[in-house]
Amino acid sequence: MSNHADAAKVGLGYNRRVMNDNFQLYATMLLIRRFEERLLAEFTAGKLFGTTHAYIGQEADAAGIFSVTHPDDIAFSNHRCHGHFLAYGGDPYSLAAELMGKASGLVGGRGGSQHIHWRNFYSNGVQGGIVPVAAGMALAEKARQTNQIVLVFTGDGTLGEGALYESLNIAALWSLPILFVVENNRYAQTTPIELGVAGSIPGRFAAFGIRTWERETTDVLEVQSAAAEAVNYVRGSLRPAGLILHTYRFSAHSKGDDVRDPAEIESYKEMDPLLIHGARLSAAERDQAEAEVSARLTGAFARAESDPFPDPRTLKPILS
Ligand SMILES: Cc1ncc(C[n+]2csc(CCOP(=O)(O)OP(=O)(O)O)c2C)c(N)n1
Ligand SMILES: [Mg+2]
């Protein structure tokens, strides 16, 4: 049964009941892609401050993973957090307002692109810095017997951070319900993985006796099935696991800092998750998703832009 009419009624990205629907998975990835494209354009136009790290090319990871989590599960993201947030069910309006520094933003306009919080979603721009926090949250959930699991997202470059290994060690020792997601997009800023990561990624988890699922794919359905197995394992066994996803980012690391050979980027274009999954939809369905996403983002950005900035006087309690 196609549920996309239902998805349209409740708003894209919100209704977890229809997340497994092919249309909804496509719409979630498209929402991320168009949101990030819009952001990059706004930066170029000088309308946004700070920095941003676009998720373009990696959409299948977030869409696939959050299609199999429970609404109450806890997610810890990193500097490249917008895609995770939108797939988690976050509102593009609140995120756009946050990026514009508006009072109506997710955290009052003070977190910007990398430091956001909504419900059980947290992000932090310090590479690896949030991983021990995520392990602590998993310990808390286990103690409270909530049956909620924790997911923490890292990149290949973050495999160089010691805090990650301390967290793997304690998660294995104390049997914590946490899924460590490694999104290997083959680069850490400008450093290719060959120059930054020795040995193998699954080998790092194996050293701590932690089970892993590994996929070299940008097909959202393949990500979804691996994520479902890993999530079910963590929830059922209350043990940590690793989900290693080899992907590729099409956009620059941040706004324009790209030293990669354009021919290399071009060679990955056939891995575009929207192309791969879009082939499962009709042209009419793809057009419908495009129209719905476009309308939603136009409304979100217009509303965010017209919102007021926070009153600087409300900063006082934080600064004093
Ligand atoms: C502790 C720390 N060191 C350096 C940085 C600057 N920095 C931000 S992102 C990044 C690269 C991260 O690479 P990776 O983990 O592969 O994630 P990706 O950007 O590829 O998604 C660096 C060096 C940082 N945010 N935190
Ligand atoms: Mg990387």
CA distance 124 to 155: 13
**Residue 134 near residue 150, CB atoms below 8 Å:** yes
Please state the atom number of ligand 1 nearest to the C-alpha of residue 158: 15
Q: Ligand 1 pocket, 156 CB below 6 A?
A: yes
Q: Residues 214, 163, 199, 114: what is their CA dihedral angle, to the nearest 10 degrees? A: 60
Q: What is the pLDDT of residue 81?
A: 98
* Nearest partner of 28 among 260, 281, 306, judged by Cα: 281
* Structure token digits, residue 140: 């808390």
Ligand 1 close to Cβ of residue 80 (< 6 A): yes
Helix (H, G, I), strand (E, B) or coil at 192: strand
Q: Is the CB of 79 under 6 A from ligand 1?
A: yes
Ligand 1 contact, 141 CB (< 6 A): no
**Stretch 23-48: mean pLDDT, rounded?**
95
**Residue 10 pLDDT level (bands cut at 50, 70, 90):** very low
DSSP H helices in 45-152: 59-66, 82-88, 92-99, 131-144
Q: Give yes or no for residue 126 CB within 6 A of ligand 1.
A: yes
188 lines ligand 1 (CB under 6 A): yes
Q: What is the distance of C-alpha 108 from the center of its chain?
A: 21
Helices 92-99, 22-44: inter-axial angle, 10-degree rounding: 20
Measured in angstroms, how far is the CA atom of residue 196 from the centroid of ligand 2? Answer: 10
DSSP tag of 308: P
Which residue, by CA, sits nearest to atom 11 of ligand 1? 188
**Distances, alpha carbon 262 to alpha carbons 1, 119, 250, 318, in Å:** 41, 39, 10, 45
Least Cα distance to 13 among 105, 92, 109, 116 occurs for: 92
Q: Which atom of ligand 1 sits closest to the CA of residue 127?
A: 26
**Which residue, chain included where needed, has tokens 């909530």?**
146
Q: Which two tokens stand for residue 122?
A: 């947290």
Q: Looking at the predicted structure, is the pLDDT value of residue 55 above 50?
A: yes
DSSP 107: T
Q: Is the CB of 189 under 6 A from ligand 1?
A: yes
Distance (Å, whole) CA 320 – CA 301: 33
The ligand whose atoms approach the alpha carbon of 129 most closely is 1
**Ligand 1 neighbourhood includes 84 CB (under 6 angstroms):** no
Residue 313 pLDDT level (bands cut at 50, 70, 90): confident
How far is ligand 2, taken at its centre, from the CA of residue 149, in Å?
Answer: 24
Is the per-residue pLDDT at 206 higher than 80?
A: yes
Minimum-distance ligand 1 atom for the alpha carbon of 156: 16
Q: How far apart are CA 68 and CA 255, in angstroms?
A: 31
CA of 63 to the centre of ligand 2 (A): 18
Confirm or reject: Cβ of 153 under 6 Å from ligand 1: no
Tens digits of per-residue pLDDT, 90-138? Answer: 999 999 999 999 999 999 999 999 999 999 999 999 999 999 999 999 9
Q: Whose CA is nearest to atom 22 of ligand 1?
A: 189
pLDDT at 316: 61
Residue 296 scores a pLDDT above 80: yes
DSSP-derived secondary structure for 12-42: TTT-GGGTTSHHHHHHHHHHHHHHHHHHHHH
Residue 32: its pLDDT value, please? Answer: 98
